[in-house]
């Protein structure tokens, strides 16, 4: 089965850097996704990591360590619009193409001015 | 470019009533999914489809049925609504399934009284 742990809430100040952690257990690792969800809106895709290391995409970076079952999302130069829930997700199926995802409960980030 | 469109956006049902939620995507995606999202819980997979004419059960399928008669449409039905089905329902699609990001609709907020 799958299990994902991420902090429930985090707060940070505009312009700062914040790191949102995600630890996971899965029967067969097949990559890890991060999604952003603003209140009352649909989740939107942020990043996908399948190999160890850091992947940078503008102000957002995502890190993966497969041996530790650990990932983090790094947000730099925080803006008010970054206030949202950040969802960590892993595929349920290993070695298949079904594309089903298991989601964590999300981390609610609040950015203060 | 509409992406994934869900109708209706809001609905209130009485216990025992039935309804159908419609999801339409214009991206020619093969894979479609229905998730529900409840406070304090991650997105949970209800049913999914890997192509026109196919459907399969997800993590929480009880009380729901689905149909995928056309590639672009994925319908979620509640035959006899229960208060436990009060939730926000999200439809999503992807092109490759495995390692492919999900594209979500804007959700349907359903209340069962």
In angstroms, what separates the C-alpha of B101 from chain A's closest C-alpha? 6
In angstroms, what separates the C-alpha of A103 from chain B's closest C-alpha? 5
> What is the arithmetic mean of pLDDT over B49-60?
94
- Asked if the model's pLDDT at residue B60 lies above 90, the reply is yes
CB contact under 8 A, B43 and A45: no
Closest-approach residue (CA) in chain A for B6:
A42
List chain A pLDDT tens, one digit each, 113 residues.
Answer: 788 999 999 999 999 999 999 999 887 777 899 999 999 999 999 999 999 999 999 999 999 999 999 999 999 999 999 999 999 999 887 656 667 889 999 999 999 99
Q: CB neighbours (10 Å) of residue B24?
A: 19
State the pLDDT at residue A95. Answer: 58
State the pLDDT at residue A96. Answer: 61
Q: What is the 3-state secondary structure (H, E, C) of chain B?
A: CCCEEEECCEEEECCCCCEEEEEEECCCCCEEEEEEECCCCCCEEEEEECCCCCCEECCCCCCCEEECCCCCEEEEEECCCCHHHCEEEEEEEECCCCCCCCEECCCEEEEEC
d(CA A92, CA A99): 8
Q: Please give the share of chain B, as a percent, with pLDDT higher than 70.
A: 98
| A8 contacts A40 by C-beta, under 8 angstroms | no
Task: Please identify among residues 60-89 of chain A the ones whose CB lies closer than 8 Å to any CB of chain B.
Answer: 87, 89
Cα dist from B42 to A82, A95, A98, B20, B46, whole Å? 20, 23, 19, 23, 12
State the pLDDT at residue B1. Answer: 66
Interchain contact B31–A (C-beta under 8 A): yes
């Amino acid at each position: 089965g799958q299990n994902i742990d991420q902090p429930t809430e985090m707060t940070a100040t505009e312009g700062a850097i914040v790191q949102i952690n995600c630890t996971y257990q899965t029967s067969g690792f097949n990559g890890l996704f991060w999604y952003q969800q603003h209140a009352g809106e649909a989740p939107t895709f942020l990043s996908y990591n399948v190999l160890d290391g850091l992947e940078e995409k503008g102000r957002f970076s995502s890190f993966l360590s497969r041996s530790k079952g650990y990932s983090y999302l790094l947000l730099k130069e925080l803006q008010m619009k970054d206030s949202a829930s950040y969802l960590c997700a892993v595929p349920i199926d290993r070695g298949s193409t079904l594309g089903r995802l298991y989601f964590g409960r999300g981390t609610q980030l609040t950015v203060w001015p | 470019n509409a992406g994934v469109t869900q109708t209706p956006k809001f609905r209130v049902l009485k216990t025992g009533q039935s309804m159908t939620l419609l999801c339409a995507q214009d991206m020619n995606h093969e894979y479609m999914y229905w998730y529900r999202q409840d406070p304090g819980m991650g997105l949970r997979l209800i049913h999914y489809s890997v192509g026109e004419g196919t459907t399969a059960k997800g993590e929480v399928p009880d009380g729901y049925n689905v149909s995928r008669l056309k590639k672009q449409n994925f319908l979620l039905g509640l035959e006899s609504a229960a208060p436990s089905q009060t939730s926000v329902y999200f439809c999503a699609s992807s092109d490759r399934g495995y390692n492919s990001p999900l594209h979500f609709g804007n959700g349907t907020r359903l209340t069962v009284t």
